[in-house]
Structure 1
Amino acid sequence: MRLGQTSIVHFASRFSASLLGFIATIFIARFLGSETLGIYYLVLSTVAWLSIAVKMGVPSAITKRVSEGNDEAAYLIAGGTIVLGLFFVISFLVIISQNRINDYLGYPAAEVVVLFLFVTLTQAVVNSVLKGQHLVHVSGVLTPIRTGTRSLIQIGAILAGFKIAGLFVGYTVGYVLVSVLGLWIVVRQFDAITTPTVSHYRRIISYAEYSWLSEIRTRAFNWVDVAVLGFFVSSSLVGIYTAAWNISVFLILFGGSLSQTLFPEMSSLSADENPQSVADLFETALSYGGLVLIPGLVGGVLLGEHLLRVYGEEFTQGSVVLIVLIVATLIQGYQRQFTTTLDAIDRPDMSFRVNAVFIVTNVVFNVILIPYFGIRGAAVATASSVFVSLLVAYGSLSALIDFSIPIGEIGRQWIAAGVMGMTVYAGLYLESTYGNVRNIVLVLVLVSFGAIVYFSTLLLISRRFRTTVDQNLPVDLPIVQA
């Protein structure tokens, strides 16, 4: 029950944070214009890529070692000092190269890059300890606090006339606030503050030397296709592709929350017993990995054009791209559960191999397909590379533990999605025949009604889903009693 509630809290927190960030972005764009917004996101992009060199997989290693339940403070100090040293090295390189960086950014913001790098690094380390302490829901709640604080300060600063400087201040304050709150919670959980030994450093580094590639994998999953598209298609087509990508990625939030929730539990079990002990949790992860993505795919097929029309009429030409990208995120949702389990049983070397396969195939497929098929080629390249990495992940994990694929539960999710699809299709038919509803209203109504139909159907046909819902509701409801 606790794991289910933790996943729901984490998912709701990430959803709220995404919504707050979306609202703030619209406000910034309308009041400061595209140029200022572009500079701001160039700074964030630069920080994101530099953070890979600063973190080097250490936060993931901290989560792993802390989740094992021994010497938590020592591992925090060891990991923190490693990333602090890397931060000083990267910051020095940024400062001596600030003229080139400022030219690239179009604004004198090299010092801001260093500041952002520090606050994001601090928050990442604190967050990694919270996850290792099985407080994933707490780390999730801190995300909308950070985003909400940042957004409110940025909007207030813009109204006060501070322009881009207000964006920088809001970002910094948001990260500092949650870092302080998170560190206070972390320290209260420690039984004792111990000094790290050489062994602690070695165990952090031994895990981090493989886990750092997962961060590059995340960047590749989000940005390789867009980067390659920039060489071959117009900026308008890149914009259409990005709009479709944002919709598809939104559907993967629940799967990410599930994997982050289960990781420390799997890690603890693996450390206390043996790798096979995590099999049940892994099968649970597979059971619910497509809970949102499967109906999302059916909905994308039926409502793709309508969803993209919310951005503007020209975006509807990306409807096929949207469908393919949702397929990619569906595969990614399952693949993530495999790599999370590999990391949890202390086999980051195999997770490293899976991530390396994805990165290489993603780059190669994009370079081959985009020149001939444009944005559709980029979508197919992403989906294909994720599928290849899923096959490698399956082979790697099946060699270590015995598990079964919950085909029955996944099949019931597809049946419920099919029932949902028929009702949505009926709604589209009725609207096209008898109505003249505004597109945004039609989308909201059909998405909401489709979600109700899907989850209601799943409650009726899936005993496991009814049991899960019943165990995680704060009150007893007869309708969900197993």
Structure 2
Amino acid sequence: MADLDRSSLALYGSRVGVSVIGFASTVYFARAIGAEGLGIYFTVETVVVVLAVLARFGVDSAVVKRLSGAADDAERARHLTGAFGLVLVPLAVVSLAVLLFADPLADLADLPLAPLALVGMVVALLVVETGQWLLLSALRGERRLATSAGVEFGGEVLRVGTSVWFVLGGSGPVGLVYGLLIGHAARALVAGVLLDTGLARPTRETMTSLVSFSKYTAGMNVSHLTYSWLDTLVLAVVVSKTAVGTYEAAWRVSLVVALASSAVGAALAPNVSAWAASDAFERIEEAFTNSLSFALLLVVPAVVGAAVLGGPFMAVAYGFGGGALLAVLVAGQVAQAVKDVVQSTLLGLDRPRTVFVTNAVGLGTNLVLTVGLALAYGPLGAAVGTALTAAVVAVVQWRALQSWLAARVDRRALAWQVGGALVMGGVVVGATRVVTPDSPVPLLALVALGALTYGGVVSLHAPTRTRLVGLVQPNATGQAEGS
């Protein structure tokens, strides 16, 4: 478990860095171009992400699975080349659709660009978005989690730096789109240079193998798409760009607390795949239980923290409200953390059909709940719908996993986490009677007090303390990647 923990930690550390940079930049952009300008950029980004997921057709997930289980370099090369071939047709179809619907797209985006200029920008973003995820997935398929994490981090630094430069030059939301294009293009280029896997002519068996996996993960990605972006699209169409800006600002803060679970899931899938190939199911069950505890370690206290300090945090950071919105979105990340670990285990066990079916349930749930509640109650309704959707999918996937594994929760570790979070909440509420969190310094002081309190309580649990200490001990093999 130590190597798996370190792989998770490497990816988690990178994503924390990405999120810190992204959060700081969002705070700056919110104050530089306002909630409406931020909402315009988020709308464009949402459109690009939605179209890119359709263009990838789940092939990026298939790349991780097939490369991690390949017998040799030649087989990996055939799979990677086949993956690029598979995305060409859907990418071309989606790009043509962008051209045909240029005018409605321009109306939705509300960017100060001519329709054809916007089409060119969106198509370019689609190409680099597709390329970067295929290449980053190939790095993960090689079980080089730390390398892929470093590439993600570097691309985000470049994106933010160029975006700030454009905004300072007066480009407004368009400058943020330029920065997005440059950052993603850099990720694709660097990932391609660092990749060990080469290219080779794929066989019919290669293409069949990729399609057999991706046809199910495509459904998984569409479900994730609706979970992550449907609410934003609905708000952009029926409410306002200002509502989009407020919602996305809160959503991206909530994503920070889910970084550990997403990193654990990303590290778990290729390892489960390798263990399943050698029938080491007891090791998978142990890794699953430990990974789930690790994934929830930061999410549980974040729920309490958002309930206590969510309002002051949104006001101080962004200059607008949204405390209740943030609290609901963070609460939804508990279910999402469970889903991250369970779904990664299912994919590692080569159960893409199960993942497809369970995510189809989530897709239907999301369409009904999120759209209905967003139309009725605006951003807060969208947040409730999104949180409930994550809970439904987590329960369905957990029940499905139990058909193949003795999946269980470490109840003692979870009890320590919940207890520590409640103690933390009580301490912070008491401290707010003395310190008013109406500016950055007292707010950060209260956050630090809460973190220290929670850390002190959970460190009293010996197994948790041992795992955390193990993360910083030297690796006997000298390798941080793989296991």
TM-score in terms of structure 1 length: 0.87
TM-align CA RMSD: 2.8
Counterparts of 1:374 and 1:40, CA distance in 2: 19
Work out whether residues 130 and 182 of structure 1, in 8 Å CA contact, stay in contact via their aligned partners in 2. yes
> How do 1:328-477 residues align onto structure 2 when only pairs under 5 Å count?
328-370=332-374, 375-431=379-435, 438-460=438-460, 462-474=461-473
> How many percent of aligned residue pairs carry the same amino acid?
27
Report the structure number with the largest CA radius of gyration: 1
Q: Which structure is richer in relative contact order (CA contacts within 8 A, separation 6 or more)? A: 2
> How do 1:38-437 residues align onto structure 2 when only pairs under 5 Å count?
39-70=40-71, 71-106=75-110, 107-108=113-114, 109-159=118-168, 167-187=176-196, 190=197, 194-228=200-234, 240-273=246-279, 277-311=283-317, 315=321, 318-370=322-374, 375-431=379-435
1:7 aligns with 8
Counterparts of 1:29 and 1:375, CA distance in 2: 18
Moved more, 230-239 or 56-65: 230-239
- Residue 31 of structure 1, CA deviation: 5.4
Alignment partner of 1:357: what SS? helix
Work out whether residues 20 and 144 of structure 1, in 8 Å CA contact, stay in contact via their aligned partners in 2. no
Letter in structure 2 aligned against 1:139: S
Work out whether residues 275 and 400 of structure 1, in 8 Å CA contact, stay in contact via their aligned partners in 2. no
Aligned residues: 466
Counterparts of 1:63 and 1:206, CA distance in 2: 14
Residues 330-351 of structure 1 deviation map (CA, whole Å, 9 limit, x = unaligned): 1111122111111110101111
Alignment partner of 1:430: what SS? coil
Moved more, 81-90 or 93-102: 93-102
- Residue 396 of structure 1, CA deviation: 0.5
Counterparts of 2:451 and 2:252, CA distance in 1: 20
Alignment partner of 2:195: what SS? helix
Counterparts of 1:377 and 1:101, CA distance in 2: 25
Alignment partner of 2:143: what SS? coil
Moved more, 226-235 or 417-426: 226-235
CA gap 1:72/1:152 in 2 versus in 1, 3 angstroms: same
Work out whether residues 39 and 244 of structure 2, in 8 Å CA contact, stay in contact via their aligned partners in 1. no
- Residue 41 of structure 1, CA deviation: 3.7
Residues 64-121 of structure 1 deviation map (CA, whole Å, 9 limit, x = unaligned): 1011132111110011111123222322333344455345434231011111111111
Counterparts of 2:440 and 2:19, CA distance in 1: 19
- Residue 196 of structure 1, CA deviation: 1.6
Counterparts of 1:46 and 1:116, CA distance in 2: 10
- Residue 448 of structure 1, CA deviation: 1.2
CA gap 1:348/1:274 in 2 versus in 1, 3 angstroms: farther
Work out whether residues 65 and 75 of structure 1, in 8 Å CA contact, stay in contact via their aligned partners in 2. yes
Letter in structure 1 aligned against 2:423: V
Counterparts of 1:375 and 1:39, CA distance in 2: 16
Alignment partner of 1:401: what SS? coil
Alignment partner of 1:310: what SS? helix
Counterparts of 1:26 and 1:308, CA distance in 2: 10
CA gap 1:72/1:231 in 2 versus in 1, 3 angstroms: closer
User: Please, which runs of 5 or more residues in structure 1 have no aligned partner?
Assistant: 477-482
Counterparts of 2:177 and 2:206, CA distance in 1: 36
Residues 381-411 of structure 1 deviation map (CA, whole Å, 9 limit, x = unaligned): 3332222222211110101112322111111
Work out whether residues 130 and 139 of structure 1, in 8 Å CA contact, stay in contact via their aligned partners in 2. yes
- Residue 293 of structure 1, CA deviation: 0.7
CA gap 1:289/1:117 in 2 versus in 1, 3 angstroms: same
Counterparts of 1:35 and 1:323, CA distance in 2: 22
Work out whether residues 270 and 277 of structure 1, in 8 Å CA contact, stay in contact via their aligned partners in 2. no
Moved more, 288-297 or 42-51: 42-51
Work out whether residues 53 and 225 of structure 2, in 8 Å CA contact, stay in contact via their aligned partners in 1. no
Letter in structure 2 aligned against 1:286: L
CA gap 1:27/1:372 in 2 versus in 1, 3 angstroms: closer
Residues 230-249 of structure 1 deviation map (CA, whole Å, 9 limit, x = unaligned): 67767766655444433322
Alignment partner of 1:446: what SS? helix
Moved more, 80-89 or 333-342: 80-89
- Residue 426 of structure 1, CA deviation: 2.2
Work out whether residues 36 and 241 of structure 2, in 8 Å CA contact, stay in contact via their aligned partners in 1. no
Letter in structure 1 aligned against 2:340: R
CA gap 1:412/1:140 in 2 versus in 1, 3 angstroms: same
CA gap 1:84/1:274 in 2 versus in 1, 3 angstroms: farther
Counterparts of 1:154 and 1:384, CA distance in 2: 34
TM-score in terms of structure 2 length: 0.87
CA gap 1:46/1:320 in 2 versus in 1, 3 angstroms: closer
1:480 aligns with none
Moved more, 72-81 or 322-331: 322-331
- Residue 443 of structure 1, CA deviation: 1.7
- Residue 167 of structure 1, CA deviation: 4.6
CA gap 1:312/1:89 in 2 versus in 1, 3 angstroms: closer
CA gap 1:365/1:170 in 2 versus in 1, 3 angstroms: closer
Alignment partner of 2:409: what SS? coil
